[in-house]
Amino acid sequence: SRISKQWNTLFDDKRFLNNHKMTFRFIIRKVYSVSIDPVIVVRELPLDTPGLESSELRKLIDCNDLLLCGKENGAVVWNPWLGQSRWIKHPCMSFYSMVYDYKKYKMVAFTLGSDLWKTYDFSSDVWIDLGNDSICDDDITNIFDSVVSLNGILYCVCFSEEPDPLSYEISKFDFSRRLFEYFCNLPCGDALALR
């Protein structure tokens, strides 16, 4: 226990304690009074896109701090942080949703009045026609606007009128395969819910 005696001697030494057991002392020299103004100022942030002012807003979608404003004669993607906007002119399209996938922004849209679906790649400025047969599972008849984007895949609530009563499910759209497919069922009708 020679080591214990050495430690005890070291701890009894006042110089060691003063050098190695320094505590910081905070001294308050001034006191400031801070008040926060609770008034919220709302300002108009124009998109600066020609022809956009006259068209009616159909859909507003956000994705990674970008806003997609679906209009009757196209869409505008707006970066509010940089104050930049990009006009995507495509009449008769309903802009469904937007995702960020592999360092690229992509969008899904369908032609109003038909089942023709398209994807749009922002980096290449290219529309890809998906047609109407290959995009959806046969069971999906209606797709709601409830859409969430996660890791480049869109998840949406759908329902089918085939079984009686209606069955609700979550479907996903995979951009790499360009296909809506079944993900999982949602409880509905006489389904029991755990609490």
Each residue of 79-95: pLDDT tens digit? 878 878 888 877 677 77
As a whole number, mean pLDDT of residues 133-140 equals 52
What element of type H or E holds 15? helix 14-20
Q: Between the CA of residue 139 and those of 103, 166, 179, 181, what are the distances in Å?
A: 33, 11, 14, 10
Query: For the chain, what is the radius of gyration of the CA atoms?
Result: 30
Residue 127 has pLDDT above 80, yes or no: yes
Please state whether the predicted TM-score (pTM) of the whole model is above 0.75.
no
DSSP letter string over 25-55?
--------------PPPP-------TT-TTS
Mean local confidence (pLDDT), 35-44: 77
Please give the Cα distance from 31 to 42 (Å, whole number): 33
Residue 43: which pLDDT band, with cuts at 50, 70 and 90? confident
Sign of CA dihedral 109, 111, 115, 121: negative
- Supply the DSSP symbol for 177: T
Given a cut of 60, whether residue 133 has pLDDT beyond it is no
Question: Which CATH number among 1.10.1660.10, 2.120.10.80, 3.40.50.720, 1.20.1560.10 corresponds to the domain 57-185?
Answer: 2.120.10.80
What mean pLDDT is predicted for residues 158-170?
Answer: 69
Q: Give 195's pLDDT tier (boundaries 50, 70, 90).
A: very low
Q: Is residue 49 within 8 Å of residue 85, measured between CB atoms?
A: yes
Any idea where the domains of the chain sit in the sequence? 57-185
Q: Reply yes or no on whether the pLDDT at 65 is more than 60.
A: yes
Instruction: Determine the Cα angle at 52 with ends 120 and 131, to 5°.
Output: 25
